[in-house]
Structure 1
Amino acid sequence: MMNHNPLKKLVELQKQGKSVGIYSVCSANGYVIEAALKRGLSDGSCVLIESTANQCDQNGGYTGMKPMDFKQFVLDIAEQVGFDTSRLFLGGDHLGPLTFAGKPEAQAMADAEELIRHYVGAGFTKIHIDTSMKVADDDPHIRLSDEVIARRGARLARVAEETYRKLLESDPTAIAPVYIVGSEVPIPGGAVGAADEGVQVTRVEDFRNTVAAFESAFRKEGLDAAWDNVIAVVVQPGVEEKDSGCTEYDRAKARELMASIKAFPNLVFEGHSTDYQTKLKLRELVEDGVGILKVGPALTFAMREGMFALAHIEQELLCGTDIEPSRFIETLDEAMLAEDKHWRKHYQGTESELRLKRKYSFSDRCRYYMPTPVVEAAKERLIGNLRRLGIPLNLLSQFMPIQYTKVREGALENDPVALVEDRITNTIDEYLYATHQKELM
């Protein structure tokens, strides 16, 4: 028994010539997830939320959550905001030996299989199988062949299918997972290093070879049904964020790649690193065949902007008083300096440049420090101080002018959490403009 996955409608609509896609929230931040669900509720659209392999795995990942924990985390927020979970999709991103790549193939793939079991067993219905990274016993001097990548990917697909069949025994209504293959993007969390070598659009030949290799590997393993549930291939359409800007989508440079998807009636493209593209560029991506737009840092960047705006308001309000300030901005930077593993290899420059990047880089490495106890405590004090004192409209206008207008019009509550989530919604709305995803359900 296979219960149809509604995400397959995305491919159907694209092949009918309709510019319909879906944006994917790649974040474990509570404010971001709540903002996405609230916006989906008001918009009447579905919501796709994904966790990456390094965020959540069978050992807890850097969030401390296993896939089932992450699912419950999202479901709890959905219940709080009244979002219909039948319109909610959960995905697993870059699932494979990514975080186990330091081990030999036998152990790395065994761990990757267990990772897949946790995600599919928890009911995640969009599975990105990513076996593009080398493991310890791969030759570091030779490019990993499409055949090896596909063979390992098919092995994980077999585990996913077996896990889904087992899931049906306890939940006959469980939705069949759809699969995404390929990985023409930087590793999860962003590119490493300062060199800007330009963004290369995936070559049509490479895209076709990827599809052919995966289809051959799946069919060789008797996974014809699983191959029928592969709905997208990850490609690089020529987009990427930088510390203080981004490489914008240029449809002329991607024309040949985008035209090539028309030869595959059951596939669309999945685009990673679409953060900071304008809403017009995002719409062009969907129009050209990128059915799934992945976004992560841009959402937590917007959240960080909102929190910093509140911190500046707090600073003005507390000047000359004996109320203890949150020191949110300073506390966040102190946490980053105390444990630099999440940003040091990503940011280069002078001390002055590093100071700016820690706070304001578009790659938003400070998102990794938001859940730390000291930063969380500072956030709670900030929220508490502002709720105690109230936020004057003149300061709201100064630091959050878009939210100020909404408050004045009665469309938004003048509450610190509501203000931050609405700042996130500004970014979400650019994706909704591009995707028309209300048509999916």
Structure 2
Amino acid sequence: MIKHPLMHLIDLQKAGQAVGIYSACTANPLVIRACLQKAKETHSILLVEATANQVDQYGGYTGMKPADFIEFVQTLAKEENFDSERILFGGDHLGPLTFAHHEEEKALQEAEELIRQYVLAGFTKIHIDTSMKVAGDPVDVRLSDEIIATRGARLAKIAEAAYQERIKKFPNSIHPVYVVGSEVPIPGGSQEAVDTGIQVTKVADFKNTVATFEKAFPKESWPYVIAVVVQPGVEEKDAGCTDYDRLKAVDLMASIKDYANLVFEGHSTDYQTQYHLREMVEDGVGILKVGPGLTYAAREALFALAYAEKEVYKAQTSKQSHFMEVLEEEMLKNPKYFVKHYHGTEDEISYKRKFSFSDRSRYYLPQEPVQKAIAVLLENFKDGVPYGVLSQFLPREYTAVRAGQLKNEPMELIKAHVGYTIDEYLYASHQEQLG
């Protein structure tokens, strides 16, 4: 059986090498194209993850089921001339997350089908997350590790059965690996109006989590558990992030050395500096999850092009894409994706719809009016962005264009802009060693 690349990551970590991998948690095609291009340039593998609310058996908010998502990414890989065999697919927060309004049995049955479809489709990194309460759970009491682990073990059994079903059709399929853990930052980032601070997971709580999950899990599944989600003291939020402080996490990070086959998985690592990201990998965080940090960069590049467009086509407003205005209009039509995340006065919330680091605008980019506006924007600069406005609004890309390192084409400019964020993760992870 082919060894999963993430198990090779464990081997390197335990040998004292600071090697990790970043996980692109996104369904944004601009971001995925940038990730593919960067992986091709660096001869590294790429880990792309779909989240339970993005992609599920009903289509999620993207309209894609698990098999659809893999086909979607593989199509982009073909267009970017990247070998799809070098893509790892992960499922994030797989469990009763979007079914929590049901009673326990119904919620877990839905979660079972979710896991089953992910594994059957070819996802090989499975984050089993049963940390959320479902209808019927006591409101004012934290779920015990025993309940969380028992529910997680039930889903692991389904994953194992689905893998056995898959290899009948695809004999060379690698066995999925699992990520567990109950201290999981909320998907999408903090919703609090006031920053209440982040508490690093206590060593005793982490060790109890591992012991409880190991006891509950099927014996055949546990060897494939490679990572545990804990809170190392980082969080992506509206104002940016809570920076990693290795001194505050020193005891927690030292405790991972007690486990020969486990690393930490870091959620909400968006907007950490490359130096903090590298420290996290050095300290035992083998998997760095990033989502809004990548889509924020894509949105930033689109805005830069839109600002340039307003200058170039100032006398031809009918030819402008009005991308920023269309995006704002779509957000105001249906505020459900940002209303719980953005707090403040009307002016403050208006600012956040555009520039918040939570980047809730990413939920609106796939909508048809927004996509049409993006198409017009790209068409308007199909012959290149004039150097004056390129230097003004995308100065790093301007320098690369002038040096002959980058084509002056809007799609290439966007990918390059997202690529600067990816570079920070590659600096931290050294993941080319996994290829």
Aligned position for 1:365: 360
Alignment of 1:211-250 (within 5 A): 211-218=210-217, 223-250=218-245
Q: Does 1:287 align with 2:293?
A: no
Work out the CA distance in 2 between the residues paired with 1:169 and 1:199.
46
Instruction: Say if 2:421 is the partner of 1:427.
Output: yes
Task: Within 5 Å, give how 1:31-50 maps onto structure 2.
Answer: 31-50=30-49
Aligned-partner residue type, residue 142 of structure 1: V
Query: Where does residue 99 of structure 1 map in the other structure?
Result: 98
Distance in 2, matches of 1:107 and 1:245, equals 37
Distance 1:182 1:196 in 2: 24
Q: Deviations for 1:89-148, whole angstroms, at most 9, x for unmatched residues?
A: 000000000000000001000000000011000010000000000000111111100000
Partners of 2:165 and 2:428 in 1: how far apart? 37
Q: TM-score, normalised by structure 2?
A: 0.99
**2:349 matched to 1:350?**
no
| Structure 2 partner of 1:74 | 73
The one-letter code sitting in structure 2 at the alignment partner of 1:416 is P
How far apart, in 1, do the equivalents of 2:75 and 2:181 lie? 32
Deviation track 1:295-354 (CA, whole Å, cap 9, x = no partner) reads 000000000000000000100001123652111011101110000000001111000100
- Kept in 1, the 8 Å contact 2:20–2:287? The answer is yes
Deviations 1:355-403 (A, max 9, x none): 1111101010000000001111111111111225x31111100000000
Which position in structure 2 is the counterpart of 1:174? 173
Tell me the alpha carbon deviations over residues 151-190 of structure 1, each in whole angstroms, 9 at most, x when there is no partner.
Answer: 0000000000000001011110011000000142332112
Which residue number in structure 1 is paired with residue 325 of structure 2? 330
Q: Deviation of residue 241 (structure 1)?
A: 2.2
Helix, strand or coil at the partner of 1:232: strand
8 Å CA contact 2:240, 2:358 repeated in 1:
no
Among all aligned residue pairs of Structure 1 and Structure 2, give the percentage whose two residues are the same amino acid. 59
Alignment partner of 1:190: what SS?
A: coil
When normalised by structure 1's length, the TM-score is 0.97
1:437 aligns with 2:431: yes
- Structure 1 segment 26-425 matched on structure 2, within 5 A: 26-218=25-217, 223-321=218-316, 323-387=318-382, 390-425=384-419
Letter paired with 1:62: Y
Q: State the Cα deviation string for residues 210-231 of structure 1 (Å, max 9, x = none).
A: 101100001xxxx222100000
Structure-1 separation of matches of 2:236 and 2:219: 37
Contact 2:190 2:237 in 1 (8 A): no
Structure 2: runs of 5+ lacking an equivalent: none
CA distance in 2 between counterparts of 1:327 and 1:365 reads: 19
Please give the root-mean-square deviation of Cα atoms over the aligned residues, in Å. 1.0
In 2, Cα distance between equivalents of 1:368 and 1:131:
24
Tell me if structure 1 keeps the 8 A contact 2:238–2:341.
no
**Which region of structure 1 is more displaced relative to structure 2, 21-30 or 374-383?**
374-383
Distance in 2 between the 1:52 and 1:437 partners?
Answer: 22
Q: Which runs of 5+ in 1 are unaligned?
A: none
